[in-house]
Amino acid sequence: MEPGVTALVVDLRGKVFPAVGAAPARQALGSVRFSVRTGERVAIVGPSGCGKTTLLNIVAGLDDDFEGRIRRPDPPIGYVFQEPRLLPWRTVADNLRFVLGPVPDAEARIARALAEVELPDAAPVYASRLSLGMARRVALARAIVVRPSLVLLDEPFVSLDQPTSERLRLLVLDLLERHGITTLLVTHDLREATMLAERILVLSAAPGRLLGEIAVALGSPARRDAATVEAEHARLRAAARALAAEAAELST
C-alpha cells in the first residue's frame, strides 16, 4: 500500500430501505461523496439515526442495494461493528482464527493482535465472559489481525464508562498511527473524531447527506493532550455548526 494514494472512493447518490409489510419505504441516506487516501484517518460525524451505520455497511460491501458507486481497496477490510458481534461460545483465539483462516503463522499473528489491544492473556477466554470494554478490544484485534487495507469503526467507544472509553481511545489512536492504517471512523461525538481523525466529514440529520468536511489541525503528540484536543474541538464545533446553518439556509 502506497501512502497518499486514493484508497477508497465513495460516490453515493442515495439509499432507500424498501417498504416491508406495513412499514413504509425509508430514505436512509442522500448524497455522500468523498475519498480517503491510503494511511489517512477520516471520521464521519452525524446525529443518531442519520444513516452512519448504513453508510459503513455500504462501504464494507455488506449492502449493495444503493444508488451510486463505491471503489474499495483490495481486501481484506476490517470492520468493528457497533455491537462487538463475537461468537459467544468460542474462545477469543477462536474468534480471531475464524476470520484469519488457515494461514501458516496464524497463532503468532493472533498472539500479536491480542498483545496490541492489551489483552495478552485473553486467548483461551470464552467471548461470552468478556466485559463490553474487553469485547470491543477483541473486536478490534479481530479487525487488525487480517492486516486490512481499510478499517471501519462504528461507534467503538459508546456505552463504556468514562475512564474505560478514554483509555480505549488512546489505545486505538496508538494502534492506527503505529501501523498507518487507513481508517473510516463513524461517531456522533465530535470530540472523539477530533482526537482520532485527520479529517472530519459532517453529515446532516436523517436522511444523512454530506454537508462538508473539516480538517483537524492536531499533530500526533497534541492528540494525547486533553486541553489541546478540547480547544481544537471547540473550533471544529463552531465550523460544524456553520456548515449545518449554511445547509439550512440553502434549503429554505
Ligand X SMILES: Nc1ncnc2c1ncn2[C@@H]1O[C@H](COP(=O)(O)OP(=O)(O)OP(=O)(O)O)[C@@H](O)[C@H]1O
**For 57, phi and psi rounded to 5 degrees?**
-60, -40
Preceding omega of 207 cis (within 30 degrees of 0): yes
Residue nearest to Mg ion (CB): 53
148 binds, among ligand X, Mg ion, none (CB under 5 to 8 A by kind): none
Candidates 32-40, 41-49, 89-97, 134-142: pick the segment binding ligand X (CB under 6 A): 41-49
Asked if 127 contacts 54 with a C-beta cutoff of 8 angstroms, the reply is no
Cβ nearer to ligand X, comparing 52 with 142: 52
Number of residues that bind ligand X (CB under 6 A): 14
Of 67, 50, 20, 61, nearest in space to 211 by CA: 50
Q: Which of 7, 8, 12, 28 binds ligand X (CB under 6 A)?
A: 28
141-200 positions binding ligand X, by CB under 6 A = 188
Instruction: State the binding string over 81-120 for ligand X (x if CB under 6 A, else -).
Output: -x--------------------------------------
Instruction: Of 154, 209, 153, give the one whose Cα is nearest residue 182.
Output: 153
Binding flag, residue 17, Mg ion (CB under 5 A) = no
Reference 160, options 185, 123, 189; nearest CA is 189
Return the range that interacts with Mg ion (CB under 5 A); candidates 53-61, 117-125, 128-136, 195-203.
Answer: 53-61
Q: What angle do CA 135, 137, 143 make, to 5 degrees?
A: 105
What is the SS3 assignment for 26? strand
If we measure between CA atoms, which residue out of 121, 119, 193, 124 comes closest to residue 156?
193
Q: Quick one: 49 or 76, whose CB is closer to ligand X?
A: 49
Residue 39 or 208 having the CB closest to ligand X: 208
CB of 119 to ligand X, least distance (A): 26
- Does position 48 interact with ligand X (CB under 6 A)? The reply is yes
Interface with ligand X includes 50 (CB under 6 A)?
A: yes
Q: With contact defined as beta carbons under 8 Å apart, do 33 and 10 qualify?
A: yes
Q: Which does 48 bind (CB under 5 to 8 A by kind): ligand X, Mg ion, none?
A: ligand X
206 binds ligand X (CB under 6 A): yes
DSSP calls for 63-79: ---SEEEEEPPSSPEEE
Cα-to-chain-centroid distance, residue 24: 29
Dist. CA 32–CA 135, nearest whole Å: 31
Q: Does residue 127 contact residue 87 with C-beta atoms inside 8 Å? A: yes
CB nearer Mg ion, residue 53 or residue 164: 53
Interface ranges with ligand X (CB under 6 A): 17, 26, 28, 46, 48-54, 82, 188, 206
User: Binding residues for Mg ion, per CB under 5 A?
Assistant: 52-53
